[in-house]
Amino acid sequence: MDNATRRNFLKDLGLGAAALSVAGEGGRAGEIGQSVQAGQAGQMPGRPATGESAGEAARPVNIMAIAAHPGDAFFAMGAAVAVQTHLGGRGAFLSLSLGEKGSATIPPARYGQMQREASERAAQTLGARALFLDYPDGEIPVNDEAKFAVCDAIREHKPGVIVTHWRGSWHKDHQACYAIANDAIFYAGLPAIARNAPAHNVGQRFFADNWEDATGFVADTYLDVGGVFDRWIEACAAFPMWRGENGFRYDDYYISLGVARGCLSGFERAIALMSAPDQLTRRLHSL
């Protein structure tokens, strides 16, 4: 199966449609949700159009968030997972670390346990699973052990879509997660790499809109999250750090970002995603 067939990007510019289709479980096409390409909605007078709303009914696809820390998984990636579980897809949050060193006042062992419990509560709220690899916070290694551990999680959960960190981050754990996820997706899809579970091709990979990963982040996809916004906030509220206890007002930032991204995309509430570069290739029929 060649790359174009496997990834099955049904982007027909002639029709102006931009359905983000992926090879889901069993090869069935799925979509991350009702989304639009950047700049498509709410075209202003005099401003050139760059596309249009997908306009098709969203279909569920299994989704996995792969994050360095639980906060990243739920705050920056959780709404995308919530959309898919709401539609009937399976969702999983994989945190490479517990983020146990994130508190200035609570010892790491205690804080790590709090983070784990908060993740499990938040995942339950969203109808998803919380998974952990327990690498030390701040010291996530970029090595084959970590890559194969993530590969195994991908093969077990069979996501059609993965949301993870963009590499343009000041945080070394986030940079590490980007590199680990990238190679893990590659390993997961290779049948010649024998693991306990059979190979699984991930249909699409997106990078999350994370305040710590902003260098070079360019939003190219907007996802309507209006129907799950309140539940996603409820899930995030399981984490004490959501309300700013650790110095950053995550709640104010991500809630207002959902409003701002909604304004840009013509949805009530939205999140922005950045496509992996290989997903931006377009094929134009000329005959």
69 binds Zn ion, rule: CB under 5 A: yes
Measured distance CA(122)–CA(3) in Å, rounded: 36
Residue of this chain nearest to Zn ion (CB atom): 69
Give the one residue of 32, 61, 68, 128 binding Zn ion; rule: CB under 5 A.
68
Measured distance CA(90)–CA(204) in Å, rounded: 15
| Number of residues engaging Zn ion in binding (CB under 5 A) | 3
Listed ranges 51-59, 71-79, 126-134, 256-264: which one lies at the site for Zn ion (CB under 5 A): 71-79
Nearest partner of 67 among 111, 31, 98, 33, judged by Cα: 98
Tell me how many degrees the CA angle 265-162-188 measures, rounded to the nearest 5: 155
Tell me how many degrees the CA angle 19-279-33 measures, rounded to the nearest 5: 35
| CB 67 within 8 Å of CB 176 | no
Q: Taking the CA atoms of the chain, what radius of gyration do you get in angstroms?
A: 18
Bridge partners (DSSP) listed for residue 29: 23
Minimum separation from the CB atom of position 111 to Zn ion (A): 14
Task: For Zn ion, give the closer residue by CB, 142 or 264.
Answer: 142
Q: What Å distances lie between residue 94 and 78, 153, 214, 255, CA to CA? A: 11, 8, 21, 22
Minimum separation from the CB atom of position 68 to Zn ion (A): 5
208 binds Zn ion, rule: CB under 5 A: no
Per-residue DSSP letter, 192? T
Minimum separation from the CB atom of position 208 to Zn ion (A): 11
72 binds Zn ion, rule: CB under 5 A: yes
Task: For Zn ion, give the closer residue by CB, 31 or 137.
Answer: 137
94 binds Zn ion, rule: CB under 5 A: no
Minimum separation from the CB atom of position 21 to Zn ion (A): 31
Listed ranges 31-39, 64-72, 154-162, 258-266: which one lies at the site for Zn ion (CB under 5 A): 64-72
Task: For Zn ion, give the closer residue by CB, 101 or 129.
Answer: 101
Measured distance CA(171)–CA(176) in Å, rounded: 9
Minimum separation from the CB atom of position 97 to Zn ion (A): 8
Task: For Zn ion, give the closer residue by CB, 72 or 100.
Answer: 72
Q: Is 254 helix (H, G, I), strand (E, B) or coil?
A: helix
Task: For Zn ion, give the closer residue by CB, 41 or 181.
Answer: 181
Task: For Zn ion, give the closer residue by CB, 41 or 77.
Answer: 77
Task: For Zn ion, give the closer residue by CB, 68 or 154.
Answer: 68
Minimum separation from the CB atom of position 71 to Zn ion (A): 6
Q: What Å distances lie between residue 191 and 12, 127, 144, 187, CA to CA? A: 31, 30, 17, 9
Minimum separation from the CB atom of position 212 to Zn ion (A): 6
Q: Which residues bind Zn ion (CB under 5 A)?
A: 68-69, 72
